Amino acid sequence: MAAGRFVLLLAGAAAVLASLRFVEFNPALLLYPDALASMADFGQGFFPPDLSLDFLSTTLRPALETIQLATAGTALALAFGIPLSLMAAGTFHLGGGPLFEGDPPARGMRGTLRPAPYWISRLALNAMRSIPEIIWALLFVRMTGLGAAAGILGIGVAYAGIMGKVFAEIMEGTDMRPAIALRAAGASRPQAIVYGVIPGAMRTLLSYTLYRWECAMRAAAILGFVGAGGLGQQIEISMRMFEHTRTATLIIELFLLVALADVISGYIRRRFA
Residue selected from 40, 120, 184, 256 as contacting other proteins according to rule CB under 8 A: 184
Q: Residue 134, Cβ neighbours under 10 Å: how many? A: 18
Task: Kindly indicate which of the ranges 31-39, 77-85, 174-182, 253-261 contains the residues binding other proteins, using the contact rule CB under 8 A.
Answer: 174-182
Distance in Å, CB of 186 to other proteins, minimum:
3
Task: Kindly indicate which of the ranges 8-16, 50-58, 161-169, 175-183 contains the residues binding other proteins, using the contact rule CB under 8 A.
Answer: 175-183
Nearer to other proteins, 61 or 203 (CB): 203
188 forms part of the interface with other proteins (CB under 8 A)? yes
185 forms part of the interface with other proteins (CB under 8 A)? yes
33 forms part of the interface with other proteins (CB under 8 A)? no
Distance in Å, CB of 175 to other proteins, minimum:
9
173 forms part of the interface with other proteins (CB under 8 A)? no
Binding mask 63-102 for other proteins (x = CB under 8 A): --------------------------------------xx
Residue 102: phi, psi to the nearest 5? Answer: 90, -15
Residue selected from 203, 255, 264, 266 as contacting other proteins according to rule CB under 8 A: 203
Taking the C-alpha atoms of residue 171 and residue 82, their distance in angstroms, rounded to an integer, is 11
Distance in Å, CB of 61 to other proteins, minimum:
37
Which residues of the chain form contacts with other proteins (CB under 8 A)?
Answer: 101-104, 177-178, 180-188, 190-192, 194-196, 199-200, 202-203
